[in-house]
A and B are shown apart, each in its own frame.
Chain A
Amino acid sequence: SQQGEEDPQALSIQEGENATMNCSYKTSINNLQWYRQNSGRGLVHLILIRSNEREKHSGRLRVTLDTSKKSSSLLITASRAADTASYFCATTSYSGAGSYQLTFGKGTKLSVIP
């Protein structure tokens, strides 16, 4: 079943601007990860934030997590043309009998215009 829901579905910005993508989810999670997918390629892991963390930084990336609202945001500052890609959030959760799932949202397609 669909867990993460990103918005917007598509985002177009000028190079140098900041890009913000949001992700909402439905069930309790252990952590949340953001991935990037360049067209036709595999997923690249960007950042992981645990359920007991509220904010995390990595270079030009800033991720927030609000477990009370079941939402997360990914901010890319000073965007570059090379940031053009689809961005997915993925939640990890442990269901019954120790089952573990990594569940993806539908993604936000980011276009950075030079």
Chain B
Amino acid sequence: GEEVAQTPKHLVRGEGQKAKLYCAPIKGHSYVFWYQQVLKNEFKFLISFQNENVFDETGMPKERFSAKCLPNSPCSLEIQATKLEDSAVYFCASSQSQKGVPEAFFGQGTRLTVV
């Protein structure tokens, strides 16, 4: 597609439940990035992929968070046993090239509310 598609737009989970977010990058883009934005403030980097391979996961919480980008499937970000502080908008971005002109195109985000 011509835009980064994130689903669902909104997700409400009870504390302790699992949450799974999806991201379809722009066709032909080989890099995918996930960011967490809390209260419309700073964007916290979580993880990046080069195709199906994890490229940089230095921002991922060690426990409860996992992500995948499998061939021919949307990328996913999964949070096991959600906590209240996981409430945020999660943005996905894709980029055609890491180096050179790494303009990243962002999706509209998934708003996760943990109650």
Number of interface residues of B (CB under 8 A): 26
Whether the Cβ atoms of A48 and B91 lie closer than 8 Å is no
Q: A100-B102, A101-B48, A102-B104 are in contact. List 11 more A-B contacts (CB 8 A).
A: A2-B42, A37-B40, A39-B40, A42-B109, A48-B103, A90-B43, A99-B55, A100-B99, A101-B45, A102-B93, A107-B40
Whether the Cβ atoms of B103 and A100 lie closer than 8 Å is no
Chain A residue contacts of B55, Cβ below 8 A: 99-100
Counting CB contacts under 8 A, is A45 at the interface? Answer: yes
Q: What are 8 A-B pairs at a CB distance below 8 A?
A: A2-B42, A37-B40, A42-B4, A42-B106, A43-B106, A86-B40, A100-B31, A104-B43
CA distance A92 to B100 in the complex (A): 11
CA distance A103 to B44 in the complex (A): 8
| 1/0 contact string of A103-114 vs chain B (CB within 8 Å) | 111110000000
CA distance A16 to B96 in the complex (A): 36
CA distance A15 to B63 in the complex (A): 48
Chain A residue contacts of B99, Cβ below 8 A: 30, 94, 100
CB contacts under 8 Å to A, within B86-110, are 91, 93, 98-99, 101-109
Q: By DSSP majority rule, is chain A's interface helix, strand, loop, or mixed?
A: strand
Counting CB contacts under 8 A, is B35 at the interface? Answer: yes
CA distance A31 to B99 in the complex (A): 10
Q: How far is the CB of A17 from chain B (nearest CB, A)?
A: 24
CA distance A40 to B37 in the complex (A): 11
- Interface bracket on A: 20 to 34
CA distance A103 to B4 in the complex (A): 19
Counting CB contacts under 8 A, is A22 at the interface? Answer: no
Counting CB contacts under 8 A, is B15 at the interface? Answer: no
Whether the Cβ atoms of A104 and B101 lie closer than 8 Å is no
Whether the Cβ atoms of A107 and B42 lie closer than 8 Å is yes
Chain B residue contacts of A102, Cβ below 8 A: 33, 45, 93, 102, 104
Q: How far is the CB of A96 from chain B (nearest CB, A)?
A: 11
